[in-house]
Amino acid sequence: MASTASILQATAHRPWPLPEGPWVMFQSWRELLFAHWRVAADRLRAVVPPQLELDLYDGGAWLGIAPFRVTGLRPRPLPALPWLSEFLELNVRTYVRVRDRACVYFFSLDAGSTLAVLGARASYRLPYRRANMEMRNDRGLFRFTSRRRGGEARFEARYGPTGRASVPQPGTLEHFLTERYALATVLRSGRVLRAEIHHAPWPLQPAAAEIAVNTMATAAGVPLPNEAPLLHFSARQDTLVWAPDVERR
């Protein structure tokens, strides 16, 4: 696992400087699949809070679904605890701008850990949901299943890399979709809450996936087009997270 010092040393790729103050949480994302669909901007505009500006690429909006495994999660300065620091997660996300900064907006974050769900809801006001999840390594391919408790949001897929890893170049769609260093949500008061993150540039591999069941986007109010998604795989991304901050009006 990369040291936090080494993560902080690599900053040339960031679109803005590191945030002031200390990071508060470390986590490593493993065996992650990015599945992205281009969707109508007006469809997303109807379900994304009006306080957030949609971020478009060549006039198009994108919705992403990302299954992965979290390891090594720990708050600073505590060590990772085996029964708390590792769990499965499944995100449904799109892309917004806050004060001209490219951010990720999450429609949902399903997790296989009750403590992770409660902690993230309380501290980051993110829409985490508890789900029954399983991931198995099947000869280099990953079988991921998720069923949200108390709902119909389900995801079942078998995926894996098909080529070598490379870093997305600025200006490309891959860079637009992945190289983002903040997340944004909207509080009940209408204020925007933003949290900064930091990691090395994404090492992306081309990927293949057989998605057998996917009702995650429709559960968020965004029907997916009847076309194959854009797929990328990343074996590992070590990440630092800062405390959230309410945007000034």
pLDDT of residue 18: 96
pLDDT of residue 3: 81
Name the residue type at position 4.
Answer: T
Q: Which sequence spans correspond to the domains of the chain?
A: 26-246
Measured CA to CA, the distance from residue 237 to residue 239 in angstroms comes to 6
Tell me which H or E stretch contains 57. Answer: none
pLDDT of residue 178: 98
Tens of pLDDT, residue by residue over 86-102, are: 999 999 999 999 999 99
pLDDT of residue 84: 76
Residues 5-27, mean pLDDT to the nearest whole number: 94
pLDDT of residue 85: 85
pLDDT of residue 1: 54
Tens of pLDDT, residue by residue over 165-223, are: 999 999 999 999 999 999 999 999 999 999 999 999 999 999 999 999 999 999 999 99
Q: Which residue has the higher pLDDT, 115 or 203?
A: 203
pLDDT higher than threshold 90 for residue 81: no
Residues 158-170, mean pLDDT to the nearest whole number: 98
**CATH code for residues 26-246:** 2.40.400.10
Strands 205-214 and 192-198: unpaired
Name the residue type at position 216.
Answer: M
Tokens of 223: 């029907």
